[in-house]
Structure 1
Amino acid sequence: MDISRDIDSLSNFKRNTSKFLEQMKETREPVVLTINGKAELVVQDAQAYQSLLDRIEYLETVKAIEQGLQDVEEGKTVALEEFEARMRQKHGIQG
């Protein structure tokens, strides 16, 4: 993030929206908008936002896998048969 380029006032953003949109598409960086000198909003293009969401989902998946592996190492597991029986009982599934 380039502070001189990526932080600006909301009023300037309103006056020069097309310039900011072009900048965000080119740099793939969000723009921090200030109101009365205080950072209040972050604006980014939809593709960059989707990329951010994809990264978060990936990191959450990796974290969950790491936790699962740690649980296995610590013996915090249940046999598949026991799990299946619990789920059948919990959800009233016959069979």
Structure 2
Amino acid sequence: MLNLENGVDSLTNFKRQTSEYLRQLHESGSPMVLTVNGKAEVVVQDAAAYQRLVELAARADQQETLAAIRTGLADAEAGRVKPAREALKELAKKFGISESDQ
């Protein structure tokens, strides 16, 4: 988790003491915001912590996909569906697309 009290420093300091900052990043697993002229510019993070973040995001995306599939299946089972051609005609009408453009 980003700690805004201890997790923000200047890029200049990071460049001057890179090995110390890398040690801190490895130990804490927390990202750090680096600033240029007092403005947040980049976030640096330990590679292992980044990998965990990527894996967590992928799992969240999979969960959202599975939830959408379950919703679609439930809609189909409940009869809340319509033929594709009918749905396409309604969309064409809604967005002002002539059927010859399809």
SS at match of 1:5: coil
Cα RMSD after superposing both structures: 1.0
Identity %: 39
- 1:70 deviates by 0.3
TM-score by length of structure 2 reads 0.71
1:57 maps to a residue whose letter is A
1:7 maps to a residue whose letter is V
- 1:49: which partner in 2? 50
TM-score by length of structure 1 reads 0.76
**Distance (Å, rounded) in 2 between the aligned partners of 1:55 and 1:2:** 20
- 1:20: which partner in 2? 21
Query: Is residue 36 of structure 1 aligned with residue 37 of structure 2?
Result: yes
Structure 2 unaligned blocks of 5 or more:
82-102
Q: How many residues align?
A: 76
2:67 maps to a residue whose letter is E
**Distance (Å, rounded) in 2 between the aligned partners of 1:4 and 1:54:** 27
